[in-house]
Structure 1
C-alpha cells in the first residue's frame, strides 16, 4: 500500500512526487510516455536554463531527479482507477493500491477529425462507457479505438448490448479480439439528425445509436469522469487544495486548466503534494 500514486511523469507529476518523497511518503510515479512535453523542441522561458533546452531533455532531468531522491518510477499505462475504500490503480502490467492519487497526465482527449464529429459531441458521441453505457442498453453501439483502452471500454459495454461494432479508423489492432464485429476502414463522416445515427467509412455506412471514443490512452479527465469527479469544459475541477470532489483524489497541471505552461505545472505539483501530505496526516 502506497501513501500516494502519481499518474504522469511531466512537470506537475514529477514535482509532486519529489515533494511527497521529501515528506517521507511512500510514493509511486507511473508514467506512460513523454506526453506533450516530449514533443516540445525549444524551451527558453523556464527559470534556470541559460541555453535552450528541449522538452525531452527537461523531462529526463525531472525524472532522474525524482529517482535520485528515492521516488519509485515505473513505465506503464494506467487503464483504470477504483476507490473502494482505498484507491486501486490498474495498469497493463499490474495493480497498485494507495491511500491517495494525483492525476497529472495533462490533456490528451482525442477527437476524430472527420465531418460532423463536433456536431454530435454530447449528442450520441461519448467518452465514458461507465457513465453512458447503461443509457444505450440493447442499442447499436459503436466504439472507436485499437488498443488496451478500447478493450477496457468494450468489456464495460458488453454488459449493456450485444450489438457492438468496433471501428479502428484505419489503425492496426494491437489487442486480441474474438467474436466482435470489427471495421478497419477509416471513418469519413458522422451523420445524424438531432443525435448521431450513422458512421460513414471509406466504403460503407453503419447505423449506430451511440459512438464511444477510446483512442490511444485514457487521459486524466477520462479517469476523473469514470470515478465521478466533476469536470468543467474538460478540465478537472479541484478546490484550493487541488483535491477533486472525491476525497483523496487530487489533480494538477494542464488537466485542471489555467495557464498551460511548465512553470504553472510545477507550481501545481508542489501545492498538490503539500495538500496530499496534510490530507494523509489528517486521515
Structure 2
C-alpha cells in the first residue's frame, strides 16, 4: 500500500444509498472509494418500473440505476469491483478487507449492503419478478388498480400490505400456511373487517403462472389435506420476511432482533466513523428515496467526522503509524 493510499471514506455497496453517499462525499472533497462486487443499482436495477421516485413519473429500474451511477461517476469517483470479506473497525482507522487479499484503510466507512425479501422459491417467482411478482405493495400496488392479487404471508407486513392493496385492487386474497395470522390483533381485525380481503387459510403457493402479459394465476396447496387447486390472479405480493445482508457488520454492533443495524439520526453505529444506510438499517420503511436520503445523511456526517479527526491530528495524507503494512 502506498504512503498516501489511505481514504477518507470507503463505501461498501453500490445501490441507491451507496451511490447517493458517493455523490455527497465527492462534493465534500472526501477521498472516497466505492466497493461493489456486482452491478451498481442494487435491487432497483432489477425493477421493471419505478413511478414513486421524485422527479420521474415513470422510469425503469435499470435506467434509474444508470442515472445514479453516471451522476456519481461524473465526480471521478473511484470504484473497485471486488467482494468485501470483512470490515474491521479500529480506534484510529478502519480496515476493509477484499477477496483478492488487499485491504483498504479509511477514517470512515459507510456500509450499504442492503438486504432482500425472503423468497418462496417456487417456479415462476424469479422468472416473473417485475411482471406480476412483487415484494413491495407501496412500490407496485399502483399498477394493480382494479385487479385481483394474492398476498402471501401472515405477519404484520403481509397484513399491512394487504390492507394497502385493498384500497386499490378489486380483490385481495391472503394465502397463509397456518389457520391463524401472526399479525397484531388490531391488524387482524382490520383484515377481517375489510370486505375486499379474503383469507385462504392453510394454503401455500406452489407455482406462479403467467402468460404473455405477465402473471395470470397461482397454483395452491392445502397444508392440511394436500388438495391442490388454481386461482386466477393478476399479481402476487410476497411478504414472508426480510433478510438483511449483515454478514459484514462488525461484532459488537447494535442490531435488533431481525438483524437490522441500529443507528442514530446520522446513520452512525456505536462504532465511531462506521455508518449503516439503506435496507440494512432499522427504520420505518424501505424505499429508494429513503435509501438515497440515508446516503446523503451518512456522507455529510462522515465529512464532519473526517474533518474533526484531521483537525485534531493536523492530518495531510500521511497515514497513521499502524496503517502502513
Contact 1:81 1:227 (C-alpha < 8 Å) held by counterparts:
no
CA distance in 2, matches of 1:44, 1:112: 26
SS at match of 2:248: helix
TM-score, normalising length: structure 2 = 0.51
Q: 1:14 offset after TM fit, Å?
A: 0.5
Does residue 261 (structure 1) correspond to residue 287 (structure 2)? The answer is yes
CA distance in 2, matches of 1:266, 1:272: 10
Q: Could you tell me which runs of 5 or more consecutive residues in structure 2 were left unpaired when the two chains were aligned.
A: 1-5, 122-242, 310-325
Contact 1:221 1:231 (C-alpha < 8 Å) held by counterparts:
no
Contact 1:103 1:220 (C-alpha < 8 Å) held by counterparts:
no
Does residue 76 (structure 1) correspond to residue 101 (structure 2)? The answer is no
CA distance in 1, matches of 2:251, 2:71: 31
Contact 2:244 2:260 (C-alpha < 8 Å) held by counterparts:
no
Higher mean C-alpha displacement, 264-273 vs 78-87:
78-87
SS at match of 1:227: coil
Does residue 38 (structure 1) correspond to residue 48 (structure 2)? The answer is no
Q: 1:15 offset after TM fit, Å?
A: 0.6
Aligned to 1:9: 14
Q: 1:110 offset after TM fit, Å?
A: 7.1
Q: Aligned-residue CA RMSD in angstroms?
A: 2.3
Instruction: State how 1:81-230 maps to structure 2 within 5 Å.
Output: 81-85=87-91, 86-93=93-100, 94-108=102-116, 220-224=245-249, 226-230=250-254
**Which of the residues 223, 248, 267 maps onto 1:242?**
267
Q: 1:56 offset after TM fit, Å?
A: 2.0
Equivalent pairs counted in the alignment come to 178
Does residue 29 (structure 1) correspond to residue 34 (structure 2)? The answer is yes
SS at match of 1:229: coil
Q: Could you tell me which runs of 5 or more consecutive residues in structure 1 were left unpaired when the two chains were aligned.
A: 114-217
SS at match of 1:102: strand
Higher mean C-alpha displacement, 13-22 vs 100-109:
100-109
SS at match of 1:231: coil
